[in-house]
Amino acid sequence: MNLAPNLGFLIHDVARVLRKRFEQRAKHMGLTRSQWQTIVYLARNEGLHQSGLAEMLEIEPITLMRVLDKLVERGFIERRRHKTDRRISLLYTTDLARGLLSDMRAIGDATRSEALDGISDDDRERLVAILELMKSNLLQACRAPADKETQNG
């Protein structure tokens, strides 16, 4: 069976359905996936500025601005002025947001458990190893210009 033509679609579909299931489980908390993701990345990188966080999330700073505004309004994130550059705000999670992290982890664990149901521990380890190798291969490939033949063809 040749998986090559369908592999990218399958990986995308699994990620999409995993996110959808997480959102179903987290719906009662009243946060969107982008808000959850922003809180998690910021909790791991307290004191980051908006453009740095946008880069990590791989979204445009203006898109992140809207998410941040809602999170600030709801008391999950605070902006603090940079000590030496008043034009820059640094971002921090609040106690309220940090209190949700364990709930988010539990929801994530339950969602992953559903996704991996019926898959042996050995196969799980192999799956992760393969995906990490694929990611590494692609990151390495992204450091070089794309082959013009494959771009046109």
For residue 82, the model assigns a pLDDT of 84
Any idea where the domains of the chain sit in the sequence? 26-118
pLDDT at 4 over 80: no
pTM: 0.74
Residues 6 or more apart whose CB falls under 8 angstroms from that of 45 comprise 52, 53, 56
Task: Let me know if 64 is exposed, middle or buried by CB neighbors in 10 A (0-12, 13-18, 19+).
Answer: buried
Which tokens sit at 85? 């550059």
Report pLDDT digits (tens) over 95-144. Answer: 999 999 999 999 999 999 999 999 999 999 999 999 999 999 999 999 88
pLDDT at 151 over 60: no
Considering the chain, what is the average pLDDT of its residues? 90
pLDDT at 153 over 60: no
For residue 15, the model assigns a pLDDT of 94
pLDDT confidence tier of residue 145, bands split at 50, 70 and 90: confident
Task: Let me know if 74 is exposed, middle or buried by CB neighbors in 10 A (0-12, 13-18, 19+).
Answer: middle
For residue 85, the model assigns a pLDDT of 84
| Domain at 26-118, CATH from 1.10.10.10, 3.30.1330.10, 3.40.50.2300, 1.10.357.10 | 1.10.10.10
More confident call, 150 vs 57: 57
Q: What is the CA radius of gyration of the chain?
A: 19
